[in-house]
Amino acid sequence: MRWALLFLVAALAGCGRGQVQEYRVAKELTPAQPSAMPAGHPDTSGTAPSALQYKRPAEWQDAPLGEMRAASFRVAGKDGKQADVSAIPLPGLAGSDLDNVNRWRGQVGLPGVSEAELATLAQTVEIAGQPAKLYEQAGANAGSGEKNRILAAITRRDGAAWFFKMTGDDGLVAEQKPAFVEFLKSVSFSAPGAQAQLPPSHPPIDGGSMMAPAAAAAASGQTKPNWDVPSGWKEIPGGQFLVAKFALTGAANAQASVNVSMSPGDGGGLSANVSRWRGQLGLGPEAEADLAKDLQSLELPGGKATLADITGQDARTGQKARLVAVVVPRSGETWFYKLMGDAQIVEREKDAFMKFVQTVKY
Of 151, 175, 206, the position where a domain reaches its end is: 206
Of 206, 238, 260, the position where a domain reaches its end is: 206
Of 206, 228, 252, the position where a domain reaches its end is: 206
Whether 302 and 228 map to the same domain: the answer is yes
Q: Is the pLDDT of residue 227 over 70?
A: yes
Whether 62 and 90 map to the same domain: the answer is yes
Q: Is the pLDDT of residue 20 over 50?
A: no
> Quick check: pTM over 0.95?
no
Whether 130 and 23 map to the same domain: the answer is yes
Whether 175 and 232 map to the same domain: the answer is no
Cβ atoms of 320 and 313 closer than 8 Å:
yes
Q: How far apart are CA 285 and CA 168, in angstroms?
A: 10
Quote the pLDDT of residue 288: 61
- For the chain, what is the mean pLDDT? 75
- CA dihedral (134, 138, 139, 140) in degrees, to 10, reads 100
The residue among 149, 153, 137 whose CA lies nearest residue 54 is 153
Whether 89 and 120 map to the same domain: the answer is yes
Whether 193 and 218 map to the same domain: the answer is no
Q: Is the pLDDT of residue 106 over 90?
A: no
- Give the length of the chain: 362
Per residue in 163-219, pLDDT (tens digit) is: 999 999 999 999 999 999 999 999 988 654 434 444 444 444 443 334 444 444 443
Whether 227 and 178 map to the same domain: the answer is no
Tell me how many domains the chain contains.
2
Q: Is the pLDDT of residue 47 over 90?
A: no
Q: How far apart are CA 314 and CA 118, in angstroms?
A: 23
**Residue 235, Cα to own-chain centre: how many angstroms?**
23
How far from each other are the two terminal CA atoms of the chain, in whole angstroms? 18
Helices (H), strands (E): how many in the chain? 6, 20
Per residue in 316-356, pLDDT (tens digit) is: 677 899 999 999 998 888 899 999 999 999 999 999 999 99
Q: How far apart are CA 63 and CA 71, in angstroms?
A: 8
Per residue in 304-315, pLDDT (tens digit) is: 999 999 998 876
∠ CA 190-20-52, nearest 5°, is: 30
Q: How far apart are CA 70 and CA 196, in angstroms?
A: 6
The residue among 256, 258, 248, 259 whose CA lies nearest residue 320 is 256
Q: Is the pLDDT of residue 37 over 50?
A: no
Per residue in 258-286, pLDDT (tens digit) is: 999 888 777 777 887 887 788 778 777 66
Whether 35 and 181 map to the same domain: the answer is yes
Whether 284 and 155 map to the same domain: the answer is no
CATH code, domain with 133: 3.40.1000.10
Q: Where are the alpha helices (DSSP H) in the chain?
A: 97-107, 115-121, 170-186, 213-219, 270-280, 343-358
Domain residue limits at 233: 212-358
Q: Which is more confident, 292 or 163?
A: 163
Whether 62 and 192 map to the same domain: the answer is yes
Using a 10 angstrom Cβ sphere, with 0-12 exposed, 13-18 middle and 19 or more buried, the burial of residue 140 is middle
Whether 220 and 93 map to the same domain: the answer is no
**Residue 25, Cα to own-chain centre: how many angstroms?**
18
Whether 99 and 245 map to the same domain: the answer is no
pLDDT-wise least confident of 12-26, 60-74, 137-151, 255-269: 12-26
